[in-house]
Amino acid sequence: MNNKYLEAFCNAISDEGVVKRTCFSLLYDTSITHYTPYLESEIMENLLLLPSEKKDDYINFAIDKINKTPLRYTNKNILDKWLVKYNVDLSTFPKFSNEDLTAVLKTYYSGHLFNTHKEQHYILDIQIDFFCYAAMLEAEKIITFLENKRIINTVSTEHLNQNDTLKIKWIGKPSQLGFIISNLAHLGYIEPPLKKDGEINYSQFANMVLGTFEADTTNNTLEKYLNLDSEKGQETLRKFNSKDFSIPNIREVS
């Protein structure tokens, strides 16, 4: 199982101190959100490779890893004071119409000539807050993505389990089931599985029939009843013939 982008994503949303070497606006595009689409693809690939019973474990593992990142539970109101100061709406995050705020978020902490230490600390303070908020949002986005995959997997598993139990209940004898189904195959109503030599694969045929019918028999026994040339098949054939049982060939009633 590949967790390359899960690791990269968690690292990218964990270190707010990186703003000291660059600026928030650049980090948002090249680091904080950069790995999200790659991680989503990685999650999908891992889920496709895992058996159904292991998918939930993987989803829990990924969610737990993201939940343990240091900025995962950042206060959602962390930007309120900045939104008020610059008179902007959070709904436009991270692209704001206020030119002053945009300029601040694009200012490099390192390599920029500041007039005062207060101005320098101001830039660092606001950019760290924006980094923390963005990291929290991306973490929530991936966790929501994972939870949605869990729901899809649960529904798919329940559907498969339901299909496993939805069978036609056969209340006749196993011999009668084998005889009737075999007749339907020989008369063109059913296409049975074939071997390479063109002969009916009765073992596979029996398995398919038991996948459709709930019958009190085994694959091995039903296989013998399906083969009308076998001893058991011949015995059932004689009983049905004695009662003048007959199904017309499909061509006769088409």
What is the chain's pLDDT, residue by residue, as a tens digit (254 residues)? Answer: 899 999 999 999 999 989 999 999 999 999 999 999 999 999 999 998 988 889 999 999 999 999 999 999 999 999 999 999 999 999 999 999 999 999 999 998 776 666 778 888 899 999 999 999 999 999 999 999 999 988 776 666 555 555 556 789 999 999 999 999 999 999 999 999 998 888 999 999 999 999 899 999 999 999 999 999 999 999 999 999 999 988 898 888 87
For residues 124, 126, 127, 130, the Cα torsion angle rounded to the nearest 10 degrees is 150
Q: Is the pTM of this model over 0.85?
A: no
Q: How far is CA 152 from the centre of its chain?
A: 6
Distances (CA, A) of 194 to 198, 201, 218: 5, 5, 20
Largest CA distance in the chain: 109
66: nearest Cα among 87, 85, 39, 99: 39
Can you give the residue ranges of every domain in the chain?
Answer: 4-163, 169-253
CB atoms within 10 A of CB 81: 11
Contact 200, 194 (CB under 8 A): yes
Helix or strand run (H / E) with residue 235: helix 231-242
98: nearest Cα among 13, 90, 158: 90
